[in-house]
Amino acid sequence: MRAIRILSAALLTLGLAAAPAAADSSPSPEASGDSGGPTRAGTSFRTATEVEQGQTATARASTGDYLYWSFPADAGQRPTVRATVKLPEGHAAETWQVDVYDGLRRRQACQYGAQTRTAGPGTASVELACVLRTVRAWSEPWADDPLPGTYYVRLTALKLSADDLGQPVDAELRVESADMGGAAAVDGSLSEPLVPGIASRPEAEGDDDSPSAVLAGLEPEDGWTSGWWSDRWVWTAAGGALAALAGVFGYRLTRGPGRPRHVPPGA
């Protein structure tokens, strides 16, 4: 009975340890917080407007423009990109598409979501979504897995009539991520996140005013992770403890009742 009580206590401990891991699979709290995002969009990769996850970026543009934003994504996150385009009145059929690229400008496939949609004549708006694969801490050089670093979003119209070209539109972009936890952990990590230089600014110190290249200014709130720690270490330790307790319990079951104490003759 004592071994059963010990085993029950271990299972309770494992449940308490797993509770934070289960909570991590929900969208991050920042996703529903600050909505004061930027009010413009870039026109190329180099001029992409930075937006933090959980912010809503807006931009006024014209049909036919290419709109670019960038955001940081870290290992273990599964980003979801959502874009909404408010169309002008009296427009013809238009097809819009949102694409996501990593720091190496490799186009990343969407797991699911309406990445391309056609808005019929007179439709007020069109909504697009792209759920990326989980960002990995490390990958083979030949693979195209999502890796930690800067990601680019491109929003544009693929098909539209000549009369609609140049018509004003309003675009909104929002990026949220779900933390996938130790289930997405891998052995290994990048030495540096894929954050390319995309801007320039004058040196703060020095005699000359020549601009110097700088990296993207945004990064995850807690900084870039090292890639070696994940909650799977908790599961591994708890599993090892349960295996040891199960061995003790099994030994007590197979041992049988204790031998009677030897009583000397004539005692």
CATH number reported for the structural domain that contains residue 45 in this entry: 2.60.120.380
Whether 149 contacts 71, CB under 8 Å: no
List the structure tokens of 7.
């085993």
Query: What digits encode the pLDDT tens for the residues 152-182?
Result: 999 999 988 899 999 999 999 999 998 877 6
Task: Decide if 211 contacts 168 (C-beta within 8 A).
Answer: no
To which H or E segment does residue 105 belong?
none
First CA to last CA across the chain, in angstroms? 33
pLDDT digits over 94-108, tens only? 999 999 999 889 999
Q: How many structural domains compose the chain?
A: 2
Claim: this prediction has a pTM higher than 0.85: no
Does one domain contain both 239 and 141? Answer: no
List of residues 6+ apart from 188 with CB closer than 8 A = 137, 138, 227
Does position 213 have pLDDT exceeding 70, yes or no?
A: no
Whether residues 146 and 37 fall in one domain? yes
**Do residues 211 and 232 both lie within one domain?**
no
Rounded CA gap, 209 and 186, in Å? 44
| Residue 247, pLDDT score | 81
| Structural domain for 21, as ranges | 1-25+228-255
User: Within this chain, do residues 70 and 197 fall inside the same structural domain, yes or no?
Assistant: yes
Check whether residue 173 and residue 70 sit in a common domain: yes
Q: How far apart are CA 220 and CA 200, in angstroms?
A: 21
Please state, in angstroms and rounded to a whole number, the distance separating the CA atoms of residues 187 and 144: 17
Residue 45 lies in a domain: yes
Of the candidates 81, 156, 158, 143, the residue with the CA atom closest to the CA atom of residue 106: 143
> 3-state class of 107 per DSSP?
strand
Q: Which residues of 172-192 are buried (b: 16+ CB within 10 A; e: fewer)?
A: bbbbbbbbbbbebbeeebbee
Per-residue CA distances from 238 to 14, 16, 23, 121, 185 (Å): 6, 11, 18, 59, 17
Please tell me whether residue 39 adopts helix, strand or coil conformation: coil
Question: What per-residue confidence (pLDDT) applies to 229?
Answer: 55
